[in-house]
Chain A
């Protein structure tokens, strides 16, 4: 009847309120190219499950309400704020974090960020890299305003964003000229 045949349901009532049942889901999804299985409750956030249960700490806690972008991951190639995503929502999906993107070494975007000293404290970096990766996959040679538009949801307090833009402009230019 329902699609979640992989879910196990455990009910018990702690105090008299019916709603307080513990729902244990055996969540199965693809994380950075590998199938993973992890027990989660319905109310657990994807960000917390990644960080605290799966040891994937590149997505950061910055605000908890999808306003700073520090928690950004890619779900089926789209950037998503993991701080407002329930872990159970990624059942059967492909989740990619920075750890997965760089599995074979730093990407072209990461190398550009290194070359341009694009970050200072670095806390916002993983979120920016995920958003930048999504942009370039969709639009390999964006102009500067397109870059800024795509990265407007990632807040940085340190840099004033100039070097991030310079790095992305270089990636866009390289793509325009067919440089690998």
Chain B
């Protein structure tokens, strides 16, 4: 790969300053599991790489004021090891355990996954289900963006040339059940061909999100509205799953055909609904077992 200038700032200000100076010629580096490979293939050719791993201010993982805050430097392994995440955001915990392999999870970060913005991003469905809000900072200021407004296309986001995603927050909820189901070709590591997250609370508010089956992750609002306030039974689950298909527009590629993705999404939503209701009722924790 092309050589580059490697910077390792000690503070967030320094990092944002450099990014401001170099703009699109600089890329941020955390785990590097996406950036490195893109650079090795010559797809991305930065002049400058700004390594953020020295910035302590980016490694927070805590509950505060009714939100869970996750900093940019938090790795998938740290999420898996966190009892807080397992208890409070089970779908994100389950997704974390399904990312690649241990050796990748030790370096790769949640925020890196979000910024890479591929339609099949593992974090997509869980973050959509839980109304995550991302923090974008630049030398000139900060802003918060709802995850639903963050992705604009395949590998396209609202991040500006001088901005960094420093972290995100997820509202804490009570009395709920939540599940993440991933469609892969086998038990071993695989990029998601469809990712489904389902959520229910004790007031029968349902949330269903799907990723890898449209240009960005989506919420199946028609299905959610259909179920709202109703106690789940197999017929309702079936009908809701059918309605959820209206939210997606999957493609056929070498991993899966469009038709099989559609079929699987319906099954995943149906089984996800039953599972999250069961988890809410029994208070059972997140599990990294597969429902499909």
Contacts and interface: CB of A to CB of B under 8 A. Distances in A.
B47 to A, nearest CB: 4
Contacts of A152: 101-102, 187-189
B9 interface: yes
B3 A80 contact: no
A153 B189 contact: yes
Interface string A103-132: 000000000000000000000000000010
Nearest to A150: B102
Contacts of B189: 67, 152-153
Contacts of A79: 102-103, 106
B3 A42 contact: yes
A91 B47 contact: no
A137 to B, nearest CB: 12
Contacts of A64: 40
A154 B102 CA distance: 9
A41 B4 CA distance: 9
A72 B1 CA distance: 21
Contact of A78 (B1, B2, B6, B77): B77
Given A43-B4, A89-B51, A3 B101 contact: no
Interface stretch (B29-37, B88-96, B157-165): B29-37
A25 interface: yes
Given A1-B14, A64-B40, A66-B104, A22 B3 contact: yes
A69 B104 CA distance: 9
B5 A21 contact: yes
A3 B37 CA distance: 25
A80 B8 contact: no
Contact of B6 (A19, A65, A80, A86): A86
A162 interface: no
Chain A residues touching B, majority SS: loop
Which DSSP category, helix, strand, loop or mixed, fits chain B's interface? loop
Interface in B2-31: 2-10, 14, 25, 29
A157 to B, nearest CB: 13
Contact residues on B (Cβ < 8 Å of other chain), bracket: 35 or more
Given A19-B47, A20-B3, A89-B53, A84 B36 contact: yes
A23 interface: yes
Nearest to A40: B6
Residue of A1, A2, A64, A88 most packed against chain B (CB within 10 A): A2
Contacts of A25: 6
A163 interface: no
A80 B9 contact: no
Contact of A81 (B7, B40, B103, B188): B103
Most buried by A among B3, B25, B189: B3
Contacts of A153: 100-104, 189
Contacts of A41: 3
B32 A84 contact: yes
B285 interface: no
A32 B102 CA distance: 21
Contacts of A179: none
Interface of A: 1-4, 7, 9, 18-23, 25, 41-43, 64-67, 69, 72, 78-81, 84-86, 88-89, 91, 131, 134-135, 149-150, 152-154
Interface of B: 1-10, 14, 25, 29, 32-33, 36-37, 39-40, 45, 47, 49, 51, 53-54, 77, 100-104, 106-107, 187-189, 288
Given A43-B4, A66-B37, A88-B51, 16 more contacts: A2-B9, A4-B6, A19-B4, A64-B40, A65-B37, A66-B103, A67-B189, A69-B101, A72-B103, A78-B106, A81-B104, A89-B53, A131-B102, A153-B101, A153-B102, A153-B189
18 contacts: A1-B14, A2-B9, A2-B14, A3-B9, A4-B6, A19-B47, A21-B3, A23-B3, A23-B4, A42-B6, A43-B1, A65-B37, A67-B189, A69-B101, A78-B77, A78-B106, A85-B36, A91-B8
